[in-house]
């Protein structure tokens, strides 16, 4: 499944659960940029917020590495190692 289809399905599922979802939109001249250079979507509901990276199964190891690098470079301890 391509990332565009993954994004549409993810947004639909989150919105059906009451989340408000935002992502940087692609423009005519520029492809969309990741949030903080890492995440594809932000979802918020009540006092919760989720930063979401979308990818295909074969790209999961590369995305995990990218997220861990971002967290380490910015000295962020937002998740336990099992969550990232």
User: 0.75 exceeded by the pTM?
Assistant: no
At 69-83, the pLDDT tens digits run 888 888 887 665 555
Domain extents for the chain?
3-83
How far apart are alpha carbons 13 and 61 in whole angstroms?
24
Q: Tell me the DSSP string of 44-68.
A: EETTEEEEE----GGGHHHHHHHHH
pLDDT at 71: 85
At 42-69, the pLDDT tens digits run 999 999 999 888 888 888 888 888 888 8
């Amino acid at each position: 499944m391509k990332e565009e289809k993954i994004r549409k399905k993810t947004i639909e599922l989150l919105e059906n659960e009451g989340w408000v979802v935002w992502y940087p939109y692609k423009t005519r001249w520029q492809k969309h940029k990741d949030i903080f250079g890492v995440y594809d979507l932000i979802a918020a509901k009540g006092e919760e917020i989720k930063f979401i990276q979308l990818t295909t199964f074969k790209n999961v190891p590369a995305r995990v590495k990218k997220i861990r690098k971002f967290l380490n470079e910015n000295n962020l301890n937002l998740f336990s190692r099992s969550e990232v």
